[in-house]
A and B are shown apart, each in its own frame.
Chain A
Amino acid sequence: MGPRIGVVTFPGSLDDRDAARAVRLAGGEAVALWHGDEDLRGVDAVVLPGGFSYGDYLRCGAIARFTPVMGPVLERAADGMPVLGICNGFQVLCEAHLLPGALIRNDHRKFNCVDQALRVESTDTVWTNAFASGQDIVVPLKNGEGGYVADDATLDRLEGEGRVVVRYVGDNPNGSYRGIAGIANERGNVVGLMPHPEHAVASLTGPGTDGLGFFASVLTALLHDREWETTRKATDFTHDHETVARA
């Protein structure tokens, strides 16, 4: 059985089924998580999908961030569990302070749905290890409030620490500072993306299959961890035996 990836449904989530489909197509097992759940049903990673959680009322992501499910998401993220926030999910991660900065209304003030060219700038995250550094990909972008903003010091730090994960190629589609389309936390286990990789998983229904790489990345990382874990557990077991034998 492949790793279990939880996909959270908040009231108003829209791309939750798409994210689950992308997980399955990449070879993982998708687990539906409900905003009211207080535990994560043993998942190995979590996706916060796109949509308009709570109707974007107050501020995008501002209400979802206080739902019961976010308690364990924050706790486990601090322990290194992979978390991916897509579009509204990215907004939730910023509101929850798992990622720095904020997403504001597009500079042209319109909702915009386009096939967007992106450059993968960091492959040192659990969500982007399947790409080549500097690889150009095309993934749908669709949002009304996708302008990434932060103060200069934060932006400089993100750039300096290699935490700008993907950047827009060509015309800046929404006024994001420094063309930033996605960022990671310091540890590289939490990533926020404005574009929608779950809509680029089959050429029949999207612009191509470039989006699969994000889901394949986390599965690879988790399988690698699992092998390591199995080795570690076996070693622990031997140690316990030795202790018992000595006693």
Chain B
Amino acid sequence: MIDTVKNAEATPEVSQPFAELGLKAEEYQRIREILGRRPSSAELAMYSVMWSEHCSYKSSKVHLRQFGEKAPKTDALLVGMGENAGVVDIGDGWAVTFKVESHNHPSYVEPYQGAATGIGGIVRDIISMGARPVAVMDPLRFGPADAPDTRRVLPGIVAGVGGYGNCLGLPNIGGEVAFDPSYAGNPLVNALCVGVLRHGDIKLAHASGAGNLVVLFGARTGGDGIGGVSVLASETFDDAKPSKRPAVQVGDPFMEKVLIECCLEIFAADLVVGIQDLGGAGLSCATSELASNGDGGMHVWLDRVPLRDATLRPEEILMSESQERMCAVVEPEKLDDFLGICSKWDVTATVIGEVNESDRLTVEWHGEVICDVPPRTVAHEGPVYERPMARPPDQDALQASDPTSLPRPSTGDELRATLLQMVASPNLSSRSWVTDQYDRYVLGSTVLAQPADAGMVRVDEGSGLGVALATDGNGRYTRLDPYAGAQLALSEAYRNVAVSGAEPLAVTNCLNFGSPEDPAVMWQFAEACRGLADACLKLGVPVTGGNVSFYNQTGEVAINPTPVVGVLGVIGDVTRRTPLASAAGQVLVLLGETRDEFGGSEWAHEMHGHLGGLPPRVDLGAERRLARLLVAGSRDGVLRAAHDVSDGGLAQTLVELALAARTGLRVRLPEGVDPFVALYAESVARAVVAVAADAVESFLTGCADGGVPAAVLGEVGGVTLDVEGLFTVAVSELRTAADATLPALFG
């Protein structure tokens, strides 16, 4: 029988399974206080998913506030944090919206569908803002490359990202693939989407205007993903518990593609008052957030929801995370036009509710009221925790374990052998095995994609206006120093955008951490948020939105804290972009300063399996000066090619430059620096650029004026990477070494 509100009032003593739904006893008690009675089972379902860590940000909220409080002054932000995604002004009446989200746990349980629906969810967030999605990126992290579980999850995750994104017709323009033992059993699958819209087209998730209708459209509701939020995203995996496979959603990218086109046609005809996608927490989230953001209440006839499985109970319908669904608020006189467009695209659309003046969210099931709640208490006034924090007990020992004592290569032969091993390492080798499974050409506006430092798409075919995006994160740096590690992730993404010639404008982040109930993890989280907010302020790039993913751990062992930072930049004319590929005869110049910095480096990791010491010193002033020079150099055409220096140091940058140009490089390392340090240190704020031979002198003057250290490194040409006085490697040998690794591991 159905547990109605009346029944709940009459039977206060009934014991309810709040713990199984992921609620703590005090949270359940608070629901009883809000309602003045016990919740009905439908209300309990709704509160349990909306008050889950994933939906309520209850452990992170107090730290995330800094992103707003410390935000740099900017006129570029049209919509800030708190909506489905932030919206940034890029000029000429154009705006872009972008966001990165995690789908870590579902991808571990069911790699293909978990990754696929991760793309699907972030794309619907972007559509909800009124934008046309134009590109996706996917930062991925796995356990050791040769671990059996990595072989189980990686091919499926990559195929899922490709299978869904390719079928939606969205170019995949970049991302990351990294391996580290800390992600064993807990891969990180983050997905970023960027969309484009005109200023006037911004849509928000507001249900306003009594009498307006609530329309559910898209796929039918099924039993997939029920409890996904509370059970999957908010609890640690534990072998003792039963399989959680049924809680993973199944995606239908064809439905989503049709839904995108249908939504865009509806937006163009100006037929909605507000719109919200159905993702985590399904209808519970969509109805409560729309009502909470509106000016009144909402009544929902839940029995009108079209179902894939007629046996679903009302609680399950409220919690289902079936994919490819949207919820719109439509004025009654526009309903026919709205339904007409849905019918053109063969999209099922059903009026399931109405906005009213009640201030309550009421849900009816075959004539009986099963929910009667104040919507704000569900959507926005959930619990907030100030979790205890403590510096991890091993932090001091970790930082004291200095990598300077590790044996270093010094002779030419040793440096050559190191180079070849590093080039072929899982973290530095060619990503083509992964990225060739993604369509980077569809939509015809991809200007830069992998292996470029940043992805770039053209927004306006007339003017050439475009945007660039890069995502970066380094769990090892963040483990050694969370405050600095988060800043280093931002530094690198900011630098990568500038390398492409675009001016960095705004930030999104996906904060992947262990359990917030572990004080050591909470300390890492707090430090990372503080570091990121401080750095955003200094670099003048506001955070526009993002996502927190907690409980990334297996048993008691948390992953390396991994804030993944996405930076968006704007470029006035994409034909001025700086490519990765240089050409013979051009002169290479190293920008920035190299120090003996190896803590958390790729070299220490790959050659010694060592993690200790301190990460490279953050220098935001130097990053800002470097970016200014790179953007100006792109605009005035002096830079013919550029590549940043980061993981694997200058050596890896040179290798990637040679591979991209399919040409050799002749390099003389700067005098007075130990060749090993020059080649492998990971000091920040550095890049290698290529300029025409006759422009070198004036370029060096410009560098001096801009406060950027610069040194001529050599020139492009020949068929070998030639480091003068030390070693020579044929470009073909580098190609073979770089290309073989991932296919050998994953087929």
Give A residues with C-beta under 8 Å from B.
11-12, 14-15, 17-18, 21, 50-52, 54-57, 110-114, 140, 142, 144, 196, 198-199, 201, 204-206
10 contacts between A and B (CB under 8 A): A14-B257, A15-B444, A52-B166, A56-B254, A110-B436, A111-B159, A112-B437, A113-B437, A113-B438, A205-B441
Q: Contact between A18 and B444 (Cβ–Cβ < 8 Å)?
A: yes
Give B residues with C-beta under 8 Å from A.
159, 162-163, 166-169, 252-255, 257-258, 345-346, 435-447, 458, 574-575
Which single member of B253, B440, B445 contacts A55 (CB below 8 Å)? B253
Which single member of A110, A142, A205 contacts B447 (CB below 8 Å)? A205
Q: Contact between B444 and A205 (Cβ–Cβ < 8 Å)?
A: yes
Say how far B191's CB is from chain A's closest CB, in angstroms: 17
Q: Contact between B254 and A52 (Cβ–Cβ < 8 Å)?
A: yes
Which single member of B168, B169, B439, B458 contacts A205 (CB below 8 Å)? B458
Which single member of B346, B435, B444, B447 contacts A11 (CB below 8 Å)? B346
Say how far A140's CB is from chain B's closest CB, in angstroms: 5
Q: Contact between A113 and B440 (Cβ–Cβ < 8 Å)?
A: yes
Residues of B within 8 A of A111 (CB): 159, 162-163, 166, 437-439
In the docked arrangement, what's the CA distance between A211 and B42, Å? 57
Residues of B within 8 A of A204 (CB): 447, 458, 574-575
Q: Contact between B436 and A55 (Cβ–Cβ < 8 Å)?
A: no
- Give 18 A-B pairs besides A11-B345, A112-B437, A199-B444 with Cβ atoms closer than 8 angstroms: A11-B346, A12-B254, A14-B257, A50-B442, A52-B166, A52-B167, A55-B255, A56-B167, A56-B254, A57-B254, A110-B437, A111-B166, A111-B438, A112-B436, A113-B441, A204-B447, A205-B445, A205-B458
Q: Contact between B438 and A110 (Cβ–Cβ < 8 Å)?
A: no
Q: Contact between B254 and A11 (Cβ–Cβ < 8 Å)?
A: yes
Name, among B168, B258, B438, B442, the residue most crowded by chain A CB atoms within 10 Å (CB to CB).
Answer: B442
Residues of A within 8 A of B444 (CB): 15, 17-18, 21, 198-199, 201, 205-206
Say how far B264's CB is from chain A's closest CB, in angstroms: 12
In the docked arrangement, what's the CA distance between A21 and B442, Å? 12
Residues of B within 8 A of A12 (CB): 167, 254, 257-258
Residues of B within 8 A of A15 (CB): 169, 442, 444
Name, among B444, B446, B574, the residue most crowded by chain A CB atoms within 10 Å (CB to CB).
Answer: B444
Residues of B within 8 A of A54 (CB): 254
In the docked arrangement, what's the CA distance between A206 and B258, Å? 26
In the docked arrangement, what's the CA distance between A205 and B167, Å? 20
In the docked arrangement, what's the CA distance between A55 and B443, Å? 18
Say how far B323's CB is from chain A's closest CB, in angstroms: 13
Residues of A within 8 A of B574 (CB): 204
Say how far A51's CB is from chain B's closest CB, in angstroms: 6
With both beta carbons as reference points, the residue of chain A lying nearest to B575 in the complex is identified as A204
In the docked arrangement, what's the CA distance between A163 and B517, Å? 68
Q: Contact between B159 and A51 (Cβ–Cβ < 8 Å)?
A: no
In the docked arrangement, what's the CA distance between A131 and B568, Å? 41
Residues of B within 8 A of A18 (CB): 441-444
With both beta carbons as reference points, the residue of chain B lying nearest to A198 in the complex is identified as B444
Residues of A within 8 A of B345 (CB): 11
In the docked arrangement, what's the CA distance between A12 and B345, Å? 10
Residues of A within 8 A of B438 (CB): 111, 113
In the docked arrangement, what's the CA distance between A54 and B186, Å? 35
